[in-house]
Amino acid sequence: MGREDWLLAESIAKELERAETALDEVDNLIRIGAANNDDPEDDRYQTAEQTMVYYIDRAYRSIAALSERLGITTIAKEVVAARADKDFFSRTDRTNEGDIHSAALSKAQSCFDPLKALTSARAVTAQDVLRTILHSSGKIAAARSTPPKNEADVRNAVLEVCEFAFNDAMRETPVAKRLTGYRIDLTVRSLRSAVEFKFIDKKSEMRAAIEGVYADMKGYRHPDWDSFYSVFYMTSPFYTQAEVDEEFRYVDADKSWEPIVVQGPGKRKPRVSKA
């Protein structure tokens, strides 16, 4: 069993988690009547349903690939047969308790369970290690002799720690585009993960930081990356994790992006005006 199997299992777990989140959104929109809304501009339900189907389909394809790699052909055949029903992924119903249910998602989870057990030695920990490091950005910065003055200082401090856990951790990774170029603050290619840092020294700076992340969501789209983290490094407790999470939900932010709110020492270096 190789590293590729562990990473594939980890990717499946994340795809199922995103499908579950989209299913919850479908349920919420049905409950408030958005599913039968006659407003042609209100496409929230259709978007949520399409997102759910997208991640369920991705999970099925990945489960088929992993089961074949592990030599469990019965699961591979079962998954391929399920994908033949084009409407299977979008069908939902309700149990007696009133909770929404997706047979396709439940089937994917049951097919993945034995594969997850075989790969759990490492598959469920790599992303957790990265998340733990990012959530510790404030402590990492505080351990340095010089407090950070900008995003680069925070990124460099976190990168030093990431390099102990991941040999392929890099800074300023370019994202090739046809007409424009972007550079991601920090990447771990083996995890197909990218990290962007925002340094917030005043409460008023949070708005610009979040808008910058929304722009990054479009600019960083690339087949090399599956998971994105936005680290909002605050020098004072301007906002909580719950508040930023709610903001991401309110604007229906890209589900592949996860905000991480941390607090640590530092102060933005004042700009020196030119004579």
Instruction: Give the whole-angstrom CA distance, residue 214 versus residue 220.
Output: 10
Q: 184: which residues sit within 8 A by CB, 6+ positions away?
A: 172, 173, 174, 175, 194, 195, 196, 220, 225
At residue 124 the predicted structure's pLDDT band, cuts being 50, 70 and 90, is very low
Q: Which residue has the higher pLDDT, 182 or 235?
A: 235
Span 75-102, average pLDDT: 82
The half-sphere exposure of 241 on its side-chain side, counting CA atoms within 13 A, is: 9
> Which tens digits make up the pLDDT trace of 144-157?
889 999 999 999 99
- pLDDT at res. 275: 52
The 3-state DSSP class for residue 206 equals helix
> Which tens digits make up the pLDDT trace of 193-251?
899 999 999 999 999 999 888 888 877 777 777 788 999 999 999 999 999 999 988 88
Strand 100-101 and strand 169-176: the pairing is: unpaired
Closest to 228 in 3D by CA, of 168, 188, 264: 188
Of all helices (H) and strands (E), which one includes residue 182? strand 181-188
Q: Beta strands of 107-240 (E only): which ranges?
A: 169-176, 181-188, 193-200, 227-234
Highest mean pLDDT among 24-38, 40-54, 215-229: 40-54
Closest to 233 in 3D by CA, of 175, 115, 148: 148
Closest to 34 in 3D by CA, of 21, 18, 49: 49
Instruction: Give the whole-angstrom CA distance, residue 114 versus residue 12.
Output: 13
Q: Which residue has the higher pLDDT, 169 or 41?
A: 169
**Strand-pair partners of 197:** 231
At residue 3 the predicted structure's pLDDT band, cuts being 50, 70 and 90, is low
Instruction: Give the whole-angstrom CA distance, residue 76 versus residue 62.
Output: 10
Closest to 13 in 3D by CA, of 227, 225, 253: 227
- On average, the pLDDT of the chain sits at 84
pLDDT surpasses 60 at 122: no
Instruction: Give the whole-angstrom CA distance, residue 217 versus residue 44.
Output: 19
Span 165-191, average pLDDT: 80
- pLDDT at res. 121: 47
**Strand-pair partners of 100:** 94
